[in-house]
Structure 1
Amino acid sequence: MIDKTDNKKQLDALVDNLFRNQYGKMVSYLTNKFGYHFIEDAEDIVQETLFTAFQNWSFNGIPKNPEAWIFVVAKNKAINFLKKESKKSNIDIDLLIKETSTPEVNFKLEQEIEDGLLRMIFACCSLNLDHQSTITIILSTLCGFSRKELSKAFLCKEETVKKRLYRAKKKIKEKKIQTVILKGTNLEPRLDLVCNSLYLMFNEGYNSSTSEELIRKDICLEAIRLTKLLQNHFSHIGKVNALLSLMYLHAARFESRLDDNGAIILFKNQDRSKWSFDLIIEGIGFLNSSMKGEDLSSYHIEAGIAAEHCLADTYDKTNWEKINKLYSLLYNLKPSPIIELNLAIVDFKLGKVLTALEKLEDPILKSKLNNYYLYYATLGHLYLFIGNKEKSNFNFLLAKNLTDSVQEKEFIEKKIIAI
């Protein structure tokens, strides 16, 4: 007898995976096809399509090619929508219907979506919005980020993200801003925004905001895929190689971060034999390639830090002095509270415990990281190290209440019990 509960879990997982991997591709295709003013309608259509898929597949079973199914349904919904709005549009509806009439054309359009996602990320960079709004639009619309995930990426409240998205979309609609599909040398001025978007995308996968999974490999792999595609076009640009290096070096340690039960393993306790040395070698190769240019980006430094960790034979042989210099250089290049937190952690690794605590207890830094679980988890660890169990327990409790991750909550709970 078929277990309906298992079927539902399988269907839930599939739809969630399709949302992550196909949402942005479908929205980018529809937006590219019909104009950027169509963006909100495209998002609605894609979300409705995924809901339709869940309902249909619950009764009729999962089709052989789920991606093709949702693609065709989404495109048909868009055509039906545009038929109703045809007086406001210059779209040739009859031509679109003809394009979708054969499987061969559908396959061709699938490939167009695959490449079109990166093109649309570049196109978003031509919207004449401020830096943060542009990246917010890219991550929300093309990468399927929730407001919660965006708030984590930008270290701000969800309400701030909501308002930012509303203002950006309103500006696009009111001013009838159109995307421009850039070509050739016109692409290079947009690389900073594109790289930043892919960097934040990878980070969300590496430390997921979802309660169930700490690592979302699907997001990381999609970020790597897009960055590798970017590197194919800009192999001469140092920061692109450095960003790809950083992703490879982090991805190399995937299998050692969680135990068989999904619990967090501290970096110093990770089994280095589980690291992918093939990915480390590739990552170092891209880092070496990144050094050929004259410009130094934050990705160069972060990849350098990751390389130090990967190349150390054991945790005890980690060159914390060099890592401290790299983090100091990174802070001078791109000051941020997260880098300040990491500098304090490195101070602790170098035996400067009181210096680390003094930095972390700075009121200005505390206000910036007030909603960041790792900040309080670090304080809890440092206070426990010096024997202040009361402050350690207090900060661990704050950390536990600031994360939705099941693994992180369980990890902090073990720390509290051990006090």
Structure 2
Amino acid sequence: MHTNPERQVHELVDHLFRHEAGKMASVLTRLLGFGAMELAEDIVQDTLLKAMSVWKIKGIPENPSAWLYTVAKRKAIDTLRQQHLHSQHHSEISDALKSEWTLAPTVRQLFLDNEIEDSQLRMMFACCHPSIPYEAQLALTLKTLCGLSIAEIANSFLTNEDTISKRLYRAREKLREEKISLEAPIPAKLPGRLNAVLHCLYLLFNEGYNSSHPDQLIRHDLCSEAMRLCLLLIGNPVTNAPEANALLALMCFQASRAEARLGEDGSIVLLKDQDRTRWSRPLIEKGKYFLEQAAEGDEITDYHIEAAIAGCHARASSFEKTNWGDIEELYTILSDMKNSPVISLNRAIAIRYHVSPEAGLKALLAIEGLQQHYLYHAALGDVYVDVGDLAAARASYERALCLTSSIAEKKLLQFKMERLA
């Protein structure tokens, strides 16, 4: 079976967009200044479009990432020469950008691996500047650094695209007004910004693990990017905080099950039906390691608790041997720390298995704020089956069916409804 070269190019550019766009945008914003962030994004877009057109004709180069960086460097140098943007923002590289003798070498220097990583760290913390409203910080980071679309960000926040567009506009306006620069993270200012950065990576991983894309339930590229950026934080002594280790532990535990979550036909395989021999032992071991590192701090965060819950599942040799009592207790602690209907939903599911379906149903019916969430109605349907109320189960599954656009999720719900007949 031959792969269509044009499709191969399109898929590679899409892959590189996820992995390289944020890197290029970070370096370009550091060069051009935050006031020219949209110009930096345009250069990234132009670079990717050029790759698409050239590679279709000449073929994919041996090192696609290096090809992109070469084009981006040239465009950055041309832009700096033409628009004199170096005079509009002040940083440790401003003087070097003013001279023809040092302009090109400085741009090339910033595209070296260690400088790219430094620029990404700066970008993460600049997007999470306290002058920007918290939710706008998250939207800006997910859009600029992580490459999520407005629709994907809206799904992460359970809101609409118009709201996200307005948040992005306000965030960019604030960047211009405050003349915020890409500064290195300062320890004294770290805690507040780090929380926002970690939340962004948490949302990015979740969008990959439970994608809002209709025909792609799991997006491994997003999961990998979230894990890479989290590892970047841990690799820097200034940002290597216990909560960052806890978040990476959570990601490792969750990612270890990714391959077992889908059947060969793309259908969803529920946790109780998964082939646990397909779970990634190396990722589970990494999860244990990072959770141990996270225990070195004095504070327990919600990432610690969620990682501990994921660890309970990872350690269970079978679904029947899962310690649902510990999981229920951990969700109770988590709900005390962070009031969220999604946490209440997961706690109710744990009660279903630890106590009884009837107790689980009572807990589910007490939850408010999830009437438009398909997982809530799907969980209700499952528990109604357990207690023998098949009419209520069908109604819940039908409601869930109306609330999801995922093809795989629709197929699973339809399968459950067929079993009721």
Fold conserved (TM > 0.5)?
yes
Q: How does 1:19-418 map to 2 (within 5 A)?
A: 19-86=17-84, 89-90=87-88, 91-92=97-98, 94=100, 98-99=104-105, 105=108, 109-126=112-129, 128-184=131-187, 186-234=189-237, 237-362=241-366, 365=368, 368-418=369-419
CA distance 1:86–1:233, shift in 2 (3 Å): closer
Tell me how far apart the structure 1 counterparts of residues 44 and 350 of structure 2 sit (CA, whole Å): 45
State the shift of 1:355 in Å: 3.8
Contact 1:127 1:179 in 2 (8 A): no
Deviations 1:331-357 (A, max 9, x none): 100111110111121122234334433
| Larger mean Cα displacement after TM superposition, 298-307 or 251-260 | 251-260
Deviations 1:154-208 (A, max 9, x none): 2222222122112211222244333432245544453212221222222222112
| Larger mean Cα displacement after TM superposition, 304-313 or 344-353 | 344-353
Gapped regions of structure 2 (runs ≥ 5): 89-96
Tell me how far apart the structure 2 counterparts of residues 79 and 107 of structure 1 sit (CA, whole Å): 12
Tell me how far apart the structure 1 counterparts of residues 397 and 60 of structure 2 sit (CA, whole Å): 44
Tell me how far apart the structure 2 counterparts of residues 218 and 318 of structure 1 sit (CA, whole Å): 29
CA distance 1:12–1:100, shift in 2 (3 Å): farther
Contact 1:79 1:93 in 2 (8 A): no
C-alpha root-mean-square deviation of aligned residues, in Å? Answer: 2.6
Contact 2:131 2:174 in 1 (8 A): no
Contact 2:27 2:110 in 1 (8 A): no
State the shift of 1:110 in Å: 4.7
State the shift of 1:13 in Å: 1.1
Tell me how far apart the structure 1 counterparts of residues 125 and 57 of structure 2 sit (CA, whole Å): 40
Contact 2:33 2:85 in 1 (8 A): no
Q: Give 2:92's aligned residue.
A: none
Deviations 1:222-274 (A, max 9, x none): 22222223223358732122112111211222221112222211101111112
Tell me how far apart the structure 1 counterparts of residues 319 and 86 of structure 2 sit (CA, whole Å): 63
Contact 1:245 1:303 in 2 (8 A): yes
Q: Give 1:18's aligned residue.
A: 16
SS of alignment partner, residue 145 of structure 1: coil
State the shift of 1:19 in Å: 1.1
Tell me how far apart the structure 2 counterparts of residues 28 and 107 of structure 1 sit (CA, whole Å): 10
State the shift of 1:92 in Å: 2.6
Tell me how far apart the structure 2 counterparts of residues 340 and 243 of structure 1 sit (CA, whole Å): 20
Deviations 1:87-108 (A, max 9, x none): 784553735763389xxx4795
Contact 1:301 1:326 in 2 (8 A): yes
CA distance 1:158–1:107, shift in 2 (3 Å): closer
SS of alignment partner, residue 126 of structure 1: coil
CA distance 1:98–1:229, shift in 2 (3 Å): closer
Tell me how far apart the structure 1 counterparts of residues 394 and 168 of structure 2 sit (CA, whole Å): 38
- Output the TM-score relative to the length of structure 1: 0.89
Gapped regions of structure 1 (runs ≥ 5): none
Tell me how far apart the structure 1 counterparts of residues 279 and 114 of structure 2 sit (CA, whole Å): 33
CA distance 1:85–1:371, shift in 2 (3 Å): farther
CA distance 1:400–1:74, shift in 2 (3 Å): farther
Contact 1:374 1:399 in 2 (8 A): yes
Amino acid at match of 1:151: A
CA distance 1:127–1:92, shift in 2 (3 Å): farther
